[in-house]
Chain A
C-alpha cells in the first residue's frame, strides 16, 4: 500500500469521479438506469459535412463558413438516420446570421420525400430549441427560409432528440455538488477503514486465488515447457521466439486487413491463433523450472483487473467480439507474462519482440512498395485499412528504431574503453538499419496525414533526439568515425526513403500490382473548390473517399458519452447513418465494458508509464527508453484515435505485452 500510495489515492479520486458522473447522469436523466445512465432516448446529429453542402437555393461560402440564401423561398434537405421515426426536439445552432430573425418552416418528409407535415419556425443567432410534432415520423427534414433572399446564415449544429438536451452548465453544477458529497463519503470510508481495519488478514482471498492461478500455470507450464523450450538451446529459443513473434505480428495485421476483427464468425479463430502463438512463445521460453511470486504490484494487478473486467461484462451484455479479446489476452497473456518473468534473461524476450517488429516492418515496406499505391490527394493507408492505423504503426516503429539507436549508443559507450572497442562495421550497419527505419517510419506517418500521429511522432522524436544528441556528442569526442557513420547512414536512409516515395507512387501502377482492400477507409482533405478543381482533373479520383472533418469528433464523443452505463454495450454506435468508432480509447473502453473499467484501464496506463520511467532512468542495469515512449504514445493516441484495435495492431500488442518488461522480477 505504502509504495503505491499515490496511485491508490489517484484511483480513489477516480472512483469518486466516476461515481459522481454516474449519479449526475442518472439524476439528470431522471431515472435509475444502470443500462444507460442518461436515459437519453434517440439522438441524431446531422453530419458537419452535410452542413457544408450546397443545395439549389442555399449556396455555401467556404470563407465565411455559411450559406447564402439565393431565393425568396429557399430550403435544404437534411437526411436523418434512415429510419421512419418521430422526434421530439430539434436543436439548431446558428453561428452567424445577417439578420436578427430568420423565419421559415421545418418540413417533415417520409420515404420517397413524401411531405407529411410543416411547422413554422423562427431562428435567432445561438442555440434554437424547436419542439417537433412527436406524432409525425420522418425520414428526412428540410429547413425552408421565407423572405430571406440574399441573407447569410451559418449553421454549426443540427441535432434531433427524443428527450431534451441537458446543458453543460447544468451538468457541471450538478456534478460539482454530487462530487463533493461522494468525496466526503469516500473520505469517511477511508477514515473508518484506517480506524477500524488494521493490518492484513492472513490468507487473503485474492492472494490465495492469485497463488492458485500461478500454481496451475506453473504445473502445466513445467509439463509443456520442459518438453518444448527445455529441449532447445538458448540460441534456438531466440530464433524460434523471433520467428513466432514475427508470425504473430503479421497474422494480426492480416486479420486487420481482411476485416476478421469485425467478423464474429472468424474473429474467434483469429484470436485463437494469436493466443496459441503467444502460448507457443511462452513455452519455447521455458529454460528452468517455473516459480511463483511475481503476481504482485500495481502494474500486474491493473493488467489483470482490466482483462478480468472485460470478461466479467460478458455476464451482463451480449457481445460477439469484445469478450473473445478478453479471453485471449487473459489466458494467453497471463501465461506469457508468467513465463517471461521466469526466464533467465527476461530482457531477451523484449529484444526478440523488437527484432520481430523490425523484420516485419521491412517486409511491410517492400509490400507497400510493390502493392500499395499512393493515390493523389488521398491519405496513404500503407499496409493497413486506414491512415490512422498506419500512423500508429509508424510511431511504434520509430520508437523501436530510436530505442535501438539509443541502445546502440549505450553499448558503444560501454565498450569504448574496453579491449574489444567498437567495431566500425557493426556500428555502421546498425546506423543504416535504424536510421533508415526511423526515416521510413517518419515517411509513413507523414504520408498518412494523421495529425495526432504526426504530433506524437514529433513530440517523442524531439525527446529522443535530445537524449541521443547528448550521447552522440559525448561519444564523438572519443570516436569520431561515429559521426561519419551517422552522416553516411542518414544519406543512405534519405535515398531509401526517396526510393520508397517513388515506388509507392509508381511501381504498383507500372506493374499493375496495386492491391485494394475491401471497405478501405479513404480520407481526403480536399473540400469545396479544391475538391471541384481536383475532380475536373481526375473525375474518378475521389471515388469512395470521405472528407476529414475535425468537427465530427465532438459529435462522436458526445454520442458515446451519453450512452455510458455500468455494464457496457455490444457493437458500435451508429452516427451519421454508419457505425463509427469513438476515436477515444477511454470512451471506447467505458462504452464497451462499463464506466468502471476505466479504473484498471487508467491505472494500467499510469503504471506502465511509471514503469517506463523507471526502466529509462534506472541507475542499475541497461536502460531502456522504449516502454516509456510506448506508454506515452499510447496514452496520447488514446485521446484522439481508435487505438484499442484488439489483436489487430502491433501497437496494441506491444502496449499490453510490454507489461512483462515493466514487471519487477519477484521470484520467491
Chain B
C-alpha cells in the first residue's frame, strides 16, 4: 500500500478479520451449528416492541413515571398482538424485572378471531420465564396475573427454538478463538509484508495503475468526441447531468423503481450513463496517471468487489452497485482526478444541488402544505428522508458561503441565495423534526465554523460576515413568518395539494415509533419537546425511537454474503437497518465492514486533510462536509442502501475528489 497506506490500515484489516472470524466461531460454537447464512443460528426470533408494553388492559395499567405495570385487582390482564409474519412459535421468553412478589400467572393464546387456542399456567418470577408453546398459529396472547402485583416487562420474545446456551461462555470461547486466530492472521500479515513489502512492492501495486489505464484509455478516446466544447458549455452540461441524476434518484423513490428489477436496471443504466458522460466531459488527462495508492481507493475498490461477489451469490432486491461503482463511478473518479481544476466539477455539483433545492422549495410551497401536528414530509413520504435531503443540500450552501466569505466583490445575488438557502433549510428541518438530520446539520455547522478559524481574517472577511449576519436575521424573520404562512396556506388557498403514495404521517410528539402510520392528536409539539422527551426518557428504546430493536434484529442475522433485502425487524415491518454499517453488513455480508469502516474513516481524514492542504481551494470544505454528513446521518439512518438517497450519491461523488488528496497528483 505504499507509504501512504503504511502498516496501520493493514494492521486494522488483519485485526478486524481476526476479531470477526473469532466472533463467528464463538456464536457458531455457542449455537452448535455451522450456518454461513446466519451465524447466530438460533431459529427465528421476534421481540415485541417496547411501546406495546405501555398499553392498558383489564385492571392493568402502565405507570409512565415508574415504568412499571400495575395490576390493580386479581386476574388483571392485557392482550398483546403478534405482529410478525410468522405465527407459529416454539417458545415464549418473558423477561420480568421489579416484580413485587411471585404470583401465579397464565398466558392465553388466541387465534385470528381472538378465539382461545390454549392456555399455559405458570409461576411469574423475576428474571426469565420460558414457556413452551403448542403447535398453532398465534395472533394474540392474553397475559394475566392472579394477584395484584407490579412489575416491569424487560422484554417479550417469541423463539422458534429454545436457547440452550448461556452467554457467559461467550467471552471464554471468544478469547480462545481470538488467541488461535490472531497468530495466524499476523503470520499471514508478516509473510505478506515480508514478501511483497520488500522485493516486489512496485510490481504489486501495479494493479491500481492497470485499473487507471483501463479507465484512462477509453476516456481519452471518448473525449475526442467532445472536441470543440468550451469549458462553459462543459460546465453547463455537467450541471444538467448532475441534476438529471438527482431527479433519477428522486423519481426512483417516487415511482418505486427500486422495487421492480427491470425499472431498477434501467435506472442504474441511466445513472451510469450520466456519470460516464460527466467523466468524458471532465477528462483532461492524456497519459498521466494519478497517485491512487491510498487506503481510501483500496477500500472503495474492495467494497465494489465485495458487492459484486455478494450480488452474484445472493439475488438481491437492489443489485448491481459494485458494477455501477467500478464501471461508472470509477471513470468518473479518474476524470475528476485528471482535472487541472477539479473544483470546477465540485462547483457544478453544488450548483445543481442548489437548483434542485430551489425547485423543491417551489414544489413544497405550492403543492405540499404543512399539516399541524404532523412532521413535515416535503417532497418525500417520510420526514426523515426529506431531512436527509436537506442536510445534503446544506453542504452546498455552506461550501458556497465559505467560498464567498473571503471574496472582495461578493455578489448580492450569491449572498442572498446562500443565506436564504441556509435559513430555509433550518426552517424545513425544524418542521421535519428529524433529530438525526438535525444532529448532522449541527455537525456540518461545527465543521464549517472549524474551517473558519485557520483562515487569515481580513477586513473584507469581517465585512462580508457582517453582511451575512444582517441578511440572516432578515431572512429568519421572513422565513419564520411569511415562509411558514406560505407553506401552511398557499397550497390550501389555491387548492393544489399533491399527495404522495404511501406517505407516512408521523405525529410531531415523537413518542410513537418512526414506522408508525397512526396519526394521533394533532397537537403542536415542537422540536425541543421531542428532544427533551427523548433525553429524559432514560431508555435506549425511546432515545433511538425503536431503532435498538431493529439493530438487534440486524445483528442477529449477520451472515457471510448478505441477505436479499431488509429484515422483518419491528412489529412485522420490513424496516431498513437505520444504521449504515449494519445495512451494509446486512446487504453484503459481515466482511464488508472492514473496507467500509476504512472508507468512512479515510473519507473523513482526507476531507480534513483537504481543508488543511497547502494547495487548498475554498471548495475543499465540501469533502469533509459530505463525509461527516454521511457518517453522522448513517449512525441512525440508512445511508448505505444504494440509489436511495441524494446524500448517498453526493458522498460517492465527492469521494473521488479525495482519491488523490493525500499525496497530490503525480505522474507515473
11 other A-B residue contacts (CB within 8 Å) besides A208-B224, A268-B312, A318-B261: A203-B225, A208-B222, A209-B222, A211-B218, A215-B217, A215-B221, A219-B210, A220-B214, A223-B207, A315-B262, A315-B266
Give B213's nearest chain A residue, CB to CB. Answer: A219
Min Cβ gap B404→A in Å is 40
Q: At the interface, yes or no: B269 with Cβ under 8 Å from chain A?
A: yes
Interfacial residues of chain A within 195-210, with CB under 8 A of chain B in the complex: 203, 205, 208-209
Interfacial residues of chain B within 219-253, with CB under 8 A of chain A in the complex: 221-222, 224-225, 227
Provide the bound-state CA to CA distance between A314 and B210, in Å.
30
A215 and B218 contact, Cβ closer than 8 Å, known pairs A315-B265, A318-B262:
yes
Provide the bound-state CA to CA distance between A208 and B227, in Å.
13
Q: At the interface, yes or no: A498 with Cβ under 8 Å from chain B?
A: no
Is B214's CB under 8 angstroms from A205's CB? Answer: no
- Between A and B, 9 residue pairs with Cβ closer than 8 Å are A205-B225, A212-B217, A212-B222, A215-B217, A215-B218, A223-B210, A314-B265, A317-B262, A318-B262
Provide the bound-state CA to CA distance between A209 and B222, in Å.
7
| Contact of B312 (CB < 8 Å), options: A208, A213, A223, A272 | A272
| Contact of B269 (CB < 8 Å), options: A220, A315, A318 | A315
Is A216's CB under 8 angstroms from B261's CB? Answer: no
Provide the bound-state CA to CA distance between A211 and B224, in Å.
12
| Contact of B221 (CB < 8 Å), options: A212, A314, A317 | A212
Query: CB-CB < 8 A to A212: which residues of B?
Result: 217-218, 221-222
Is B262's CB under 8 angstroms from A215's CB? Answer: no
Is A216's CB under 8 angstroms from B221's CB? Answer: no
Query: CB-CB < 8 A to A216: which residues of B?
Result: 214, 217-218
Interface size class, chain A: 10 to 19
Q: At the interface, yes or no: A316 with Cβ under 8 Å from chain B?
A: yes
A219 and B217 contact, Cβ closer than 8 Å, known pairs A203-B224, A203-B225, A208-B225:
yes
Q: At the interface, yes or no: B206 with Cβ under 8 Å from chain A?
A: yes
A residues whose Cβ falls under 8 Å from a Cβ of B: 203, 205, 208-209, 211-213, 215-216, 219-220, 223, 268, 272, 314-318
Query: CB-CB < 8 A to B224: which residues of A?
Result: 203, 208
Provide the bound-state CA to CA distance between A211 and B221, in Å.
8
Provide the bound-state CA to CA distance between A231 and B127, in Å.
68
Interface class of chain B by DSSP: helix
Give A213's nearest chain B residue, CB to CB. Answer: B218
Give A312's nearest chain B residue, CB to CB. Answer: B269
Interface class of chain A by DSSP: helix
Give B269's nearest chain A residue, CB to CB. Answer: A315
| Contact of A219 (CB < 8 Å), options: B214, B227, B261 | B214
Query: CB-CB < 8 A to A213: which residues of B?
Result: 218
Is A208's CB under 8 angstroms from B261's CB? Answer: no
Closest 4 CB pairs of A and B: A212-B218, A215-B217, A223-B210, A219-B213
Give A224's nearest chain B residue, CB to CB. Answer: B210
Give A219's nearest chain B residue, CB to CB. Answer: B213
CB 8 Å contact bits of B181-217 with A (1 = contact, 0 = none): 0000000000000000000000000110010011001
Give B222's nearest chain A residue, CB to CB. Answer: A208
Is B262's CB under 8 angstroms from A316's CB? Answer: yes
Query: CB-CB < 8 A to B312: which residues of A?
Result: 268, 272
Query: CB-CB < 8 A to B262: which residues of A?
Result: 314-318
Provide the bound-state CA to CA distance between A211 and B210, in Å.
17
Give B226's nearest chain A residue, CB to CB. Answer: A203
Is A220's CB under 8 angstroms from B210's CB? Answer: yes
Provide the bound-state CA to CA distance between A220 and B265, in Å.
26
Min Cβ gap B29→A in Å is 30
Provide the bound-state CA to CA distance between A220 and B213, in Å.
9
Query: CB-CB < 8 A to A223: which residues of B?
Result: 206-207, 210
Provide the bound-state CA to CA distance between A503 and B224, in Å.
67
Give A317's nearest chain B residue, CB to CB. Answer: B262
Min Cβ gap A172→B in Å is 36
Query: CB-CB < 8 A to B218: which residues of A?
Result: 211-213, 215-216
Give B206's nearest chain A residue, CB to CB. Answer: A223
Query: CB-CB < 8 A to A220: which residues of B?
Result: 210, 214
Interfacial residues of chain B within 256-290, with CB under 8 A of chain A in the complex: 261-262, 265-266, 269
Provide the bound-state CA to CA distance between A268 and B269, in Å.
21
Min Cβ gap A557→B in Å is 28
Query: CB-CB < 8 A to A318: which residues of B?
Result: 261-262
Query: CB-CB < 8 A to A208: which residues of B?
Result: 221-222, 224-225
Min Cβ gap B410→A in Å is 43
Provide the bound-state CA to CA distance between A216 and B266, in Å.
24
Provide the bound-state CA to CA distance between A212 and B331, in Å.
12
Provide the bound-state CA to CA distance between A208 and B221, in Å.
6
Give A211's nearest chain B residue, CB to CB. Answer: B221
Min Cβ gap B311→A in Å is 10
Give A216's nearest chain B residue, CB to CB. Answer: B214
Min Cβ gap B211→A in Å is 8
Give B266's nearest chain A residue, CB to CB. Answer: A315
Provide the bound-state CA to CA distance between A318 and B262, in Å.
7
Query: CB-CB < 8 A to B222: which residues of A?
Result: 208-209, 212
Provide the bound-state CA to CA distance between A220 and B215, in Å.
11
Query: CB-CB < 8 A to A205: which residues of B?
Result: 225
Min Cβ gap B476→A in Å is 49
Min Cβ gap B326→A in Å is 11
Min Cβ gap B65→A in Å is 55
Query: CB-CB < 8 A to A203: which residues of B?
Result: 224-225, 227
Give B219's nearest chain A residue, CB to CB. Answer: A212
Min Cβ gap B44→A in Å is 22
Most buried by A among B213, B224, B269: B213
Min Cβ gap A202→B in Å is 9
Provide the bound-state CA to CA distance between A318 and B224, in Å.
37
| Contact of A215 (CB < 8 Å), options: B214, B225, B227 | B214
Give A218's nearest chain B residue, CB to CB. Answer: B217
Query: CB-CB < 8 A to A314: which residues of B?
Result: 262, 265
Min Cβ gap B590→A in Å is 22
Min Cβ gap A607→B in Å is 26
Provide the bound-state CA to CA distance between A223 and B203, in Å.
10
Most buried by B among A208, A213, A220: A208
Query: CB-CB < 8 A to B261: which residues of A?
Result: 318
Query: CB-CB < 8 A to B207: which residues of A?
Result: 223
Interfacial residues of chain B within 526-582, with CB under 8 A of chain A in the complex: none
Min Cβ gap B266→A in Å is 5
Provide the bound-state CA to CA distance between A262 and B224, in Å.
45
Provide the bound-state CA to CA distance between A219 and B211, in Å.
8
Provide the bound-state CA to CA distance between A315 and B269, in Å.
9
Min Cβ gap B200→A in Å is 11
Min Cβ gap A218→B in Å is 8
Most buried by A among B218, B222, B266: B218
Give A323's nearest chain B residue, CB to CB. Answer: B265
Query: CB-CB < 8 A to B269: which residues of A?
Result: 315
Give A316's nearest chain B residue, CB to CB. Answer: B262
Query: CB-CB < 8 A to B210: which residues of A?
Result: 219-220, 223
Min Cβ gap B304→A in Å is 15
Provide the bound-state CA to CA distance between A209 and B221, in Å.
8
Give A202's nearest chain B residue, CB to CB. Answer: B224
Provide the bound-state CA to CA distance between A192 and B222, in Å.
29
Query: CB-CB < 8 A to B217: which residues of A?
Result: 212, 215-216, 219
Min Cβ gap A369→B in Å is 39
Query: CB-CB < 8 A to B225: which residues of A?
Result: 203, 205, 208
Min Cβ gap A231→B in Å is 13
Provide the bound-state CA to CA distance between A318 and B213, in Å.
35
Provide the bound-state CA to CA distance between A220 and B216, in Å.
12
Provide the bound-state CA to CA distance between A317 and B214, in Å.
31
Most buried by A among B217, B224, B266: B217
Provide the bound-state CA to CA distance between A223 and B209, in Å.
10
Provide the bound-state CA to CA distance between A216 and B222, in Å.
13
Provide the bound-state CA to CA distance between A215 and B214, in Å.
7
Min Cβ gap B227→A in Å is 8
Provide the bound-state CA to CA distance between A318 and B265, in Å.
10
Query: CB-CB < 8 A to B206: which residues of A?
Result: 223
Query: CB-CB < 8 A to A315: which residues of B?
Result: 262, 265-266, 269
Min Cβ gap A247→B in Å is 21
Min Cβ gap B202→A in Å is 14
